Amino acid sequence: MLTERQELILKTIINDFTQTHDPVGSKTVMSQLPIKVSSATIRNEMAVLEDRGLIEKTHSSSGRVPSTEGYRYYLDNLVEPLQIPESVYTKIINQLDRPFHQVNEIVQEAARILSDLTNYTAFAEGPESRDVTVTGFRIVPLVGRQVMAILVTSDGSVQNQVYHLPRNIHGDEIEKAVRMINDELVGKSLAEITPEMLSKALGENANSKHASELIELVEDVINDAASEQLYVDGQINLLNNSSTNDVSDIRSLYELVDHDDLLANLEAYKPTSNSGRFPVRVSLGSELPNELLKDYSLLTAEYSVGSHGKGIIALLGPTNMPYSQVIGLLEYFRNELAKKLLEYYGRFK
């Protein structure tokens, strides 16, 4: 552990570098420290911090910048979340205080609000949906051999997909399958609807040589309805924080962020140290699994909607972001998002 004075100096360097993005010298530290310390003492303490690997010298200046280890020490021991300004509080309340027709609309709006407030790339993943029940299923004919399968669940969500049917499946088979699906599945939770149940309901009862195609269609709709939906907003903000000018790297970065499994993959990598002081977890770029993310930090926060499950909100921004403000924002926002979702679910009791 560092001494109290060393911690103050490290905190001062990080705070100044966050604001200016310029290396920090001893004179700057001396002018900003809340205690009176000589310039020589500060230089000696900065040398200790450099020996400990917490700050490092750049080639272009005699000043120092925080290292990855310095940021990790700061995040584990020194950072304190700041209360969000009244203007930000009002903006969040106003943007969430409007009618939503589906859970996914709320989650998608959450990603948009977070990106708008921070100018970072925001992620929002909805709560698990396996406990909601099926309230209706329809297959609507479209043009040619296309049909739209529509699944309605007890939380008001409507899942629809367009399928192209094999040429030899007839309309009466589809109508019969729909009737059986409603008879067998309505009132059951998504978790209860297994491939075996579908096979029994449609395979044995439908007496159709095309039962396997119909079962596959229903499985797809059920799986999509039960899967956690990930929404991403502010991808363009990645370019503001990347050190690469390589077009292929930038394209790869975009593809990485748009990948459905991104959060699950990144969440598998724990920070080198995690004190658990706050509900917001910070993973620095060097702790993330992809070299393209070396200039970024990922902040994730879990929110709970009681019996309806848990979801995740996250921000991907520059390593030298103002952590106190952003952690404070995520702490507050996760609670407001949970309140909004509980209010929404309450409409269906």
Write down the CATH number for the domain with range 134-226.
3.30.390.60
pLDDT band at 126 (very low <50, low <70, confident <90, very high): confident
pLDDT band at 127 (very low <50, low <70, confident <90, very high): confident
* Higher-scoring residue by pLDDT: 126, 239: 126
Average pLDDT over every residue of 51-71: 89
pLDDT at 267 over 90: no
CATH 3.30.390.60 spans which residues of the chain? 134-226
Average pLDDT over every residue of 109-117: 96
Q: What is the pLDDT of residue 315?
A: 94
SS (HEC) of the chain: CCCHHHHHHHHHHHHHHHHHCCCECHHHHHHHCCCCCCHHHHHHHHHHHHHCCCEEECCCCCCEEECHHHHHHHHHHCCCCCCCCHHHHHHHHHHHCCCCCCHHHHHHHHHHHHHHHHCCEEEEECCCCCCCEEEEEEEEECCCCEEEEEEEECCCCEEEEEEECCCCCCHHHHHHHHHHHHHHHCCCECCCCCHHHHHHHHHHHHCCCCHHHHHHHHHHHHHHHHCCCEEEECHHHHHHCCCCCCHHHHHHHHHHHCCCCHHHHHHCCCCCCCCCCCCEEEEEHHHCCCHHHCCEEEEEEEEECHHHCEEEEEEEEECCCCHHHHHHHHHHHHHHHHHHHHHHHHCCC
Average pLDDT over every residue of 193-211: 66
Least confident of 28-42, 197-211, 219-233: 197-211
Q: What is the pLDDT of residue 259?
A: 66
pLDDT band at 61 (very low <50, low <70, confident <90, very high): low
Average pLDDT over every residue of 306-318: 89
Q: What topology is assigned to 86-128+228-346 in CATH?
A: Beta-Lactamase (3.30.450)
Q: What is the pLDDT of residue 136?
A: 85
Average pLDDT over every residue of 184-210: 72
* Higher-scoring residue by pLDDT: 83, 270: 83
pLDDT at 225 over 60: yes
| pLDDT tens digits, 138-163 | 878 787 778 888 888 887 788 787 87
Least confident of 3-12, 101-110, 269-278: 269-278
pLDDT at 214 over 80: no
CATH 3.30.450.40 spans which residues of the chain? 86-128+228-346
Its pTM stands at 0.80
Average pLDDT over every residue of 108-113: 96
* Higher-scoring residue by pLDDT: 181, 70: 70
Q: What is the pLDDT of residue 17?
A: 95
* Higher-scoring residue by pLDDT: 212, 265: 212
pLDDT band at 233 (very low <50, low <70, confident <90, very high): very high
Average pLDDT over every residue of 5-30: 94
CATH 1.10.10.10 spans which residues of the chain? 4-77
> Rounded mean pLDDT of the chain?
84
In this structure, whether the domain defined by 4-77 belongs to CATH 1.10.10.10 is answered with yes
